[in-house]
Amino acid sequence: GWKDAINTTIINFNNEKMQITWAAKKLFPGKNVSFSYTFDEGKHKVWKPCPTYLLDEDYNSGCLFKTEGPTLAISIRHNNGSEELFSKRLKSDFYIKPNRPENVTFFWKDDTVTVSCNKPERAVKCLRLELQYKSKFDKEWQSRTSKCCSVGEQGFDPRKCYSFRVRLKRLVPYCNVVNYSSDWEAETFWMNGTLLDSCDDDIKSQSNPIVVLSCLLAVLLMMLIPLILLCKWQRFQKSVMPAIPDPKYIFSDLFSDHNGNFQEWIDKTDHAAMQTKLEYEEPECIIEAESQQEYEKNSDKQGPQEKITFSGAAENNDPKAAQISCLMPTSNTIASFAGFQILMNDDMYVML
């Protein structure tokens, strides 16, 4: 019974080629074996040697040959053919692995995607078309299976990029004893009905505006912060160290008319001031005093002067007090009243 217990892997590639493999080093350590097969039925079988061996470290570990019928018998013997180590009879149709789907087309409308492919020539009823998809936000593939050879799915977001892949599967256990599927068709990338090279393009296209806005905000902040610091520094400087006025704005005529020549500017300024004084007519001033004698005595001592009037202020209760009603001297004059001396020089008034 150990002969039937040997584990072998049997694959019928689309009912075109058969591949049978075994674990050579584990099952037959240190031995090399030979393989033969037949698709004939009945007593008169014609055994054929393996046309193409699969090797594992120079040991025969499998055989690849053409599929010629639904019933297959195999035999594994010692390399010299003297002893049979393993034999088995099977239905080759139950080990079919389909080919990849051909001429796959995508149809995207609104939120629905329909995928279809060409119908195989054989056993279409045993085949199912499987569609798998995922967006960049999905960690695992989402799967949808339908009869060959069209499958549709709803709920796709036109703003997202999706990866799609399809394959054909054989029904188990009605058509196959082993769950064989074809290899995946080449993965494609779609977004709102548009074929893309990859979903990385979508990520880049969406991230570019974000990067640009972030850079602009960073630049604006870098420009705004120094301006704020500069304004605060200027305010601080003004509060601690007030600005010194520039003389060229105060004495604008000194720099504009005399090119900074101070002597020329002061001479002209004095001349203009003298002209102003000569043209100015001083109003008459009268001094009224309570003590006429003291006034006349002071007047004789001081010499000729303008008429200046002092009127006493009764509210001060000071007999020597006086109220100045008008004091507009034009020449050097000294007036003495109520114990005070008033020096009048041009437009300067000094009480001594």
Does residue 4 surpass a pLDDT of 80?
no
Query: Cβ(176)–Cβ(96) under 8 Å?
Result: yes
Residue 170 is predicted with a pLDDT of 93
Residue 37 is predicted with a pLDDT of 95
State the architecture of 8-96 in CATH terms.
Sandwich (2.60)
Residue 85 is predicted with a pLDDT of 86
CATH for the stretch 99-196: 2.60.40.10
pLDDT in tens, 132-158: 999 988 889 999 999 999 999 999 998
Residue 92 is predicted with a pLDDT of 93
Q: Do 8-96 and 99-196 show the same overall fold? A: yes
Residue 314 binned pLDDT confidence (cut-offs 50, 70, 90): very low
Residue 86 binned pLDDT confidence (cut-offs 50, 70, 90): confident
Residue 44 binned pLDDT confidence (cut-offs 50, 70, 90): confident
Domain layout of the chain by residue ranges? 8-96, 99-196
What value does the mean pLDDT take over residues 194-205?
A: 72
Please give the residue that has the higher pLDDT: either 343 or 241: 241
What value does the mean pLDDT take over residues 257-265?
A: 70
Please give the residue that has the higher pLDDT: either 257 or 176: 176
Greatest mean pLDDT among 27-36, 171-180, 228-237: 171-180
**Average model confidence (pLDDT) across the chain:** 76
Residue 167 binned pLDDT confidence (cut-offs 50, 70, 90): very high
pLDDT in tens, 87-122: 899 999 999 999 999 999 999 988 899 999 999 888
Residue 177 is predicted with a pLDDT of 92
Does residue 202 surpass a pLDDT of 60?
no
Does residue 10 surpass a pLDDT of 90?
yes
What value does the mean pLDDT take over residues 309-330?
A: 43
Residue 323 is predicted with a pLDDT of 41
Greatest mean pLDDT among 3-7, 142-146, 278-282, 301-305: 142-146
